[in-house]
Structure 1
Amino acid sequence: MTEFSIPTIDIGPYLTPGASAATDEDCAAAARAIDEACRTVGFMQIVGHGLSDDAIAGLAGAIDEFFGLPPETKSQYRRIGENRGYAPPKSESLSMSLGVANANMMNDFYESFTIGTHASTYPGVDLPVDSYPDNTWPDAAPGFRPAVQAYWDEVTAVSRVMLRACAEALGLAPDHFEPLTDHSIDAMKMNNYALPPGAVELDGDLTGMGAHTDFGILTLLWADRVAGLEVLGDDGVWHPVMPADGALLINLGDAFARWTSDRWKSTLHRVNPPVIDGRIERRRSAAFFFDGNHDAVIEPLPGTLADGAEPYPPITVGEHLDAKIAGMKRGVAPADAAREAARVLNAG
């Protein structure tokens, strides 16, 4: 068994206009490293991503501004039934996106705020509002929207660079995924674990964010350099992971696992920040989810299905996301999550 590690990959060569692995050895090396990371661990951290310090600092400040509001004010921005807006502590269960129930069904103690693409993001395209709902912006935190949108614009560009690099890592044309992502459902979930006294009871085991795989294509994570994130290795052990200074953590979602018939991994992970002197240690994160078009069909990519391998049944991105979100928010277990659920239940 090899030692568990998350590789660091410089994607800077892909930020050069016109760069591709077909013409640039630095890009080719990055593509090979991406393939290796996706086949072995399903996680990587990227440097050379081009995200500005101002955008990152603005995002951190926006998270502090909103989550510092009184609970009754934050609750004004809560949405029921749509994956946008505020979610208070213990209103979600990520493990139920795999059908793995907690002792108390909705037990994840973090609070979050989610924004994303909406139908008017893509003018001229007829899109279902359920998959592309409007955002709720908190006017009680006036600096929140401009700072979050500035970060959103930059991280969206990074996600598209990463997808081109992933296409070449799979031996596909760099624009292979464009027809599947030209009206992508993108979302960003900003999370706060440093809850005020009395927000959750600190007796017994706490679940910060339950074990889960991400749902879409790629997740780009900014996070404080604080303990809590754990990734399940092939050895059945939960391994602590912390981003390097200035790096973004990238992990694959279920769409890539299904597209590649598990040649590339959508890896199980969870978050449990430490409790120090009776208080949950401050930890913030923002996960940008690049999920793909709602009507894109997830089926085996050319050259990825090994002889004798069993492909996943075809499903659209919208259908897949709906099933996962129903588990997370309403406790309705997805129909085809038994394999990953068993890994969670058998983990050490």
Structure 2
Amino acid sequence: MSTPYIPCLDLGSYINGSEEQKKKFSDDLGRAFNDSGFVTITNHGISQDLIDKLYENIKAAFAMPVDKKQQYEKPELAGQRGYTSAGKETAKGAKTADLKEFWQIGQEVTDGDPIKNEYPDNEVLTELPNFNNVTREIYQKLEENGKYLLRAIADYLGLPLNYFDKHVHNGNSILRGIHYFPIENPDALPDDAVRAGAHEDINLITLLIGASADGLEVLTRTNDWLPIKAHHSDIVVNVG
């Protein structure tokens, strides 16, 4: 049984490298997406200081009292912006909701594109002003990385490098901060309760900043679960 191909790739070699380096990056990325659907990315231009600030602010947001957090929960938005409390999201095919809470930030259209009218405004967290600035900066940097990755995919597929650009400009991308909160009484949980149920992503590509704990796994073609290991400063990328 062969091990799925999940390489660690240097995004800087694609952004600033030679034509040969760019070709190798695109080929490695395409091979990994064909094989496992996953890669890890290093040298992505997001500083460790900014990542640390992100975690600091996300933790502070989830540490707020429940009544404060729920002020930013908008049921009519179905979790697309602001806070979503525990018990609200269930994986496809599951009967029990995931044991988590989360906060979502979306696209901010600033160039007059009429698509702005289709997007709800982001919830501004007044208790933590830095939260809004840090999450906005992270969103923009991840979106920039995503565009480079899509250009590499286009190259691998033999398409024009800018093929995906028009499809993702002001796209409906989401930045989600997730908190897997402590379980006070695990014996009282349903037998099928999990932190995050097995699922497929609905996105074109997903970028995950290195998690603070293990748990991410991919289901291989041989029906085995394979842990995805990444350094805290790396970005995990999956397709589909």
**TM-score, length-normalised on structure 1?**
0.64
Number of residues of Structure 1 aligned to a counterpart in Structure 2: 238
Q: How does 1:32-181 map to 2 (within 5 A)?
A: 32-82=27-77, 83-93=80-90, 95-96=91-92, 100-102=93-95, 104=96, 107-118=97-108, 121-127=109-115, 129=117, 131-181=118-168
d(CA) in 2 for partners of 1:171, 1:37: 17
Report if aligned partners of 1:111, 1:193 keep a CA contact under 8 Å in 2: yes
d(CA) in 1 for partners of 2:210, 2:189: 23
Q: How does 1:158-237 map to 2 (within 5 A)?
A: 158-195=145-182, 197=184, 201-202=188-189, 204-237=191-224
Q: How does 1:276-315 map to 2 (within 5 A)?
A: none
1:163 Cα offset (Å): 1.2
**TM-score, length-normalised on structure 2?**
0.90
d(CA) in 2 for partners of 1:101, 1:206: 9
Q: Give 1:12's aligned residue.
A: 12
Report if aligned partners of 2:4, 2:35 keep a CA contact under 8 Å in 1: no
d(CA) in 2 for partners of 1:60, 1:173: 37
Report if aligned partners of 2:105, 2:135 keep a CA contact under 8 Å in 1: no
1:122 Cα offset (Å): 4.5
d(CA) in 2 for partners of 1:235, 1:44: 19
Equivalent residue letter for 2:99: F
Equivalent residue letter for 1:8: C
1:197 Cα offset (Å): 3.4
Equivalent residue letter for 1:112: F
1:145 Cα offset (Å): 0.8
- Gap runs ≥5 in structure 2: none
Report if aligned partners of 1:84, 1:133 keep a CA contact under 8 Å in 2: yes
Aligned-residue CA RMSD (Å): 2.1
1:57 Cα offset (Å): 1.1
Q: Deviations 1:269-300 (Å, cap 9, x if unpaired)?
A: xxxxxxxxxxxxxxxxxxxxxxxxxxxxxxxx
d(CA) in 2 for partners of 1:201, 1:189: 28
Identity over aligned residues, as a percent?
Answer: 28
Distance 1:183 1:152, change over 3 A: closer
1:238 and 2:207 matched: no
